[in-house]
Structure 1
Amino acid sequence: MTPALRIGATGFGLIAVCYGFARFAFGLFLPQIRSDLGLSASLAGVISGGAFAAYCVAIIVSARCSERFGARIVAVAAAAVATAGLVGIAVCTSPVWLAVFVILAGTSTGLASPPLAEAVSYAVAPARRDLTNTIINAGTSAGVALSGPFALGLGEQWRLVFMIFAATAAALGVASYLALPARGSKNGRIDGLGMPPLHANLLRLVAASFLMGAASTALWSFGGEIAQARLDWSTRLTGMLWIAIGAAGILGAAAGWLVARLGINTVHRLFLVALVASIGMTGLAFTTPTLTLVGGALFGAAYVMLTGVYLVWGTTTLPDRPGTGLMAGFLTIAVGQTAGAPLFGVLMSQLSLQAAVLVFAGLGVTPGLFWFRAVTD
């Protein structure tokens, strides 16, 4: 098995578990969790925002540790943290403990991405790196899509579902230990581990990814709530929305291929339009079951494609420090999500769901104001 295939397959699985199960499945099962534990919409938004905040801290730590200690140990740590957080969610009995374990599970996502970028840079030929990275990134969609059938079949037994997710995370920890190189792109050296110079390209990346991250929380954190409010869907039926989001998101694996042919800026703006359309189709009052599922599919494809764009944007800007280049975009996506989730919850509680959806659809347009330029500008 070639390094690209071995690392790509293992990374795809680890990202599926950490993002699809440990981070985004909370939004799918939120209505049933709220019913069982007595959560308000505002508190649910704060918990979601806390998980995104934990991601922000973790991805900074992970980028530095991946450069210093290598890819394998950090990836295994990500799987271990995901396992612990998912077990905790499954057994918690109060909103306080739920918050603790949702935040712990969310930490695993920040830990997972940088070591995989380091592993790709260290072991995969340059011509295959963008494609391998974006295939790994598309694992998010596989995890989201796989969580949907669990909601359809075991929607009310969310504790059992999270225990199954935990067992899967543990298995991916073993796979990461066996498949990933011990070293990262810097071969274990610790020189130059500070933040990179504030290149104009990075500043534009930070602005764009922050705004996209904030807009995306409309569905990632409140997709289940929206489907319940608009269509009176149960957690089981909402599983169909998650399947649509995840299945279409697999298209995001083509981000590296599309960027190579159309350019970062064209792909960026095309899929921002798709993101805005998806929020409107799913969340506005005129939605129907068909529109909701189509909007969910559009959202999945747009979100994973956009994160792939930001991945290539960052690693192209910092080719010698791929973990840090990835961190620049992914960290600020999560910062945007940290701000966006509580804001959406407050708007929904204090104004209306319609107002919250309109504000966040408008927010999705704004990243297009920022563009990628050659690293030499």
Structure 2
Amino acid sequence: MVAVTYGLARFSYGLLLPDINASLNMSEFLSGATSSLFYLAYCVTIVLSTVITTQEGPRRMILLAGLSAFVGMLMMAVTPNAWVLAFGVLLAGGSTGLVSPPYGAAISLWIQEEKQGKANTWINSGTSLGIVLSGAGAYFLTPNWRLTYLIYAVLTLLILVWNYKAIPKGRMGSRLRFKKGNYSIRGVKEAKPLIAASLILGISTAAFWTFSRSFVEVAGDYSDWQLSGFWVVIGLFGVLGGFSGSLIEKGGLPFAYKLGSLSIASASIILAVAPGNWLMSYLSAGIFGCSYIFLTGVLLVWGIRVFIANASLGIGVPFLLLAVGQVIGSILAGWLVGSWGYAASFMIHGVLGLTALLMGPGKRQNEMANITSD
């Protein structure tokens, strides 16, 4: 479900954007603004999902996420203009906000506590599997982006049926690890670095998700399979980000965060410097894919350790701020690309990403045992 909501419904837009632009006559600014709707919808639905998951458990929100992704991509497949496309984007983007908190809650219900960190980060890496699928689909179906979205929608429907049958019905009884109405946190002081880091990382990564494929296409002499391969590399290396849980255990949360922040900023800078060199562009894609999934896993674990009383809230807050940053970053990237060009936009976003190194989890988040709820 994470693969189809994040990888297909949300992030495949950047891969298919050149063909969408050509079909619907969209400017770079309009493309960036439309992309921001993915993240704007996410901001709304992740709050809704966090509240309902806390009250009712994970099942309803997971199924609603699949339905939202299915309808959204179906609308994008048949859209006659940019307005209908935008509405489909809202539904497709909203699915990712709906799906994140309930899986965090499901893990707290069904997975042994000592294994929950790894489980969260591996489920999070499902995004990468979806990105690989979207890259393969783009290669075989280029430039038929409408047919591509139609196939993605059918696949999502199958996944929705699978989840409907697999997720237990009803409440979880005494095993419910979160309480109705429990939105307390340890204190604003603990949450401030998490909020700031998530926001900055969201802004800095938006350009890569929306415009990286378009950037390498106009900057170098790439074949269709090389352009699709660029996206597949993001997904394949993203799977490695699932090891963030293990690295957090061995090196600590602060070390994992700084490593991820430095890596993801360098990806945009590398692409800004050498977009026409396929080796460097693929290196940039690999670093970005691995570090993005890695970093979201780190933010996920960090959030749960701050919002210890509520696992769904612990996922919801950092992912919400990440999406808020991506709303800002997408619009900013569209404007910068239209005004100064791709290279300047990616360099600015990369340098901005480096500022995230100045913030991060403290030693108190390094051990779960040291965190207690008020």
For residue 74 of structure 1, what is the aligned residue in structure 2?
A: 61
For residue 111 of structure 2, what is the aligned residue in structure 1?
A: 124
CA deviation vs aligned residue, 1:265-293 (integer Å, no higher than 9, x gap): 11111121211221122233564011111
Separation in structure 2 between the aligned mates of residue 245 and residue 155 of structure 1, nearest angstrom: 18
Q: Secondary structure at the match of 1:218?
A: helix
1:1-377 alignment to 2 at 5 Å?
A: 14-182=1-169, 183=171, 187=176, 191-194=180-183, 196=185, 198-233=187-222, 236-285=225-274, 287-373=276-362, 374=364
Q: Percent identity?
A: 32
**Structure 2: which 5+ runs fail to align?**
none
Shift of 1:312: 0.2
Shift of 1:151: 1.0
Separation in structure 2 between the aligned mates of residue 354 and residue 303 of structure 1, nearest angstrom: 20
**Count of aligned pairs:** 364
Separation in structure 1 between the aligned mates of residue 282 and residue 92 of structure 2, nearest angstrom: 27
Q: Secondary structure at the match of 1:203?
A: helix
**Residues 188/173 of structure 1: CA separation in 2 closer, same or farther (3 Å cut):** farther
Q: CA RMSD in A?
A: 1.8
One-letter code aligned to 1:335: V
**Residues 320/181 of structure 1: CA separation in 2 closer, same or farther (3 Å cut):** farther
Residue pair 2:101, 2:315 contacting (<8 A) in 1 also: yes
Separation in structure 2 between the aligned mates of residue 26 and residue 286 of structure 1, nearest angstrom: 20
Q: Secondary structure at the match of 1:221?
A: helix
One-letter code aligned to 2:115: R
Separation in structure 1 between the aligned mates of residue 94 and residue 275 of structure 2, nearest angstrom: 36
Separation in structure 1 between the aligned mates of residue 222 and residue 184 of structure 2, nearest angstrom: 46
TM-score computed with the length of structure 2 as normaliser:
0.93
**Structure 1: which 5+ runs fail to align?**
1-13
**Residues 55/232 of structure 1: CA separation in 2 closer, same or farther (3 Å cut):** farther
Shift of 1:168: 1.4
Separation in structure 2 between the aligned mates of residue 249 and residue 189 of structure 1, nearest angstrom: 30
Residue pair 1:71, 1:181 contacting (<8 A) in 2 also: no
TM-score computed with the length of structure 1 as normaliser:
0.92
